[in-house]
Amino acid sequence: MHPPVVKLDFLRVVPSPLHLLLGIANLIIGEIYPSITESSFIDSLTDQVKTKHGRSNGAAQVHQLNGPEILRWIEGNFDQMVLDFAATVPAEAPILSITANGRSTTAARPLLPQFRVARVASWLRSLANFLLPTS
């Protein structure tokens, strides 16, 4: 019998459902919300849910939310704060496109920011409920 090459503390291994939630939630909160609203506003909200560490254990604790922080985001209704802020963001102007025959046509207007935030917030909550059921 060969000795193990790597010893892992099973308490330090992130289960797959939580790993999926961490990746997708951090993408939504860190990339999608700032693209819809303002990054400074999202940064101020994430600062409210971030755990204050005496010393940092890595870049992820500085730049991304961990599991308890994401759950705090969801349970603290921070999505609603983003939704309220998105209602103040003006909708983008319609996009103009030129057809092949040279006539100018107006493309469909994109969703208003608050509807985009509502849709993404719904996805985030559904994903958390599916991957980490509480009961």
Helices first, then strands: H and E counts in the chain = 7, 2
Q: What is the pTM of this model?
A: 0.70
pLDDT, tens digit, 9 for 90 and up, residues 55-108: 555 555 557 899 899 999 999 999 999 999 988 877 665 444 555 566 655 555
The chain-wide mean pLDDT, for the chain, equals: 80
3-state secondary structure of 48: helix
Is there a contact between 107 and 97 (Cβ–Cβ < 8 Å)?
yes
Long-range contacts of 109-112 (CB under 8 A, 24+ apart): 112/86
Buried b (16+ CB within 10 A) or exposed e, 41-77: bbeebbeebbeeeeeeeeeeeeebbbeebbbbbbeee
